[in-house]
Amino acid sequence: MREELIMLTAAELAVGKCHPTSFPEPRRVYAWIRFLSKAIRIQTRAIAYTRTAVKIRFLEPLFKIQRKGWVWLNSIATVPHDPTNSVDPDSEKP
């Protein structure tokens, strides 16, 4: 049975009060994502942001499904630049 992914809601984002800004190019980040029974840290792409949240695009680890959603800003950490690492975290192939 597939466990439900929990992302931020429109109410939490205060959509009517703040407008998201898109990054010119997606940025590699680490993000914490939540399921009902656990939280996991994944490498992903940040595609937009507000003052308090970041929209991420990622390959759901368990089912290899492309997903997008919002997480709190403090759940994000940047990925240090490593020119020897050309692996795309959105790709299924290493």
Q: What is the predicted pLDDT for the residue at 24?
A: 95
Domain that holds residue 57: 5-78
Which tokens belong to 24? 């010119």
Q: Which pLDDT score is estimated for 14?
A: 86
Query: Which segments of the chain have a pLDDT < 70?
Result: 1-2, 61, 82-94
Residue 75: count of CB within 10 angstroms of its CB: 18
In the chain, how many domains are there?
1
Least Cα distance to 46 among 38, 32, 58, 35 occurs for 58
Q: What is the pLDDT of residue 43?
A: 93
**Predicted model pTM:** 0.80
Q: Is residue 41 part of a domain?
A: yes
User: Do the domain assignments include residue 83?
Assistant: no
Per-residue pLDDT at 5: 87
Domain assignment present for residue 11? The answer is yes
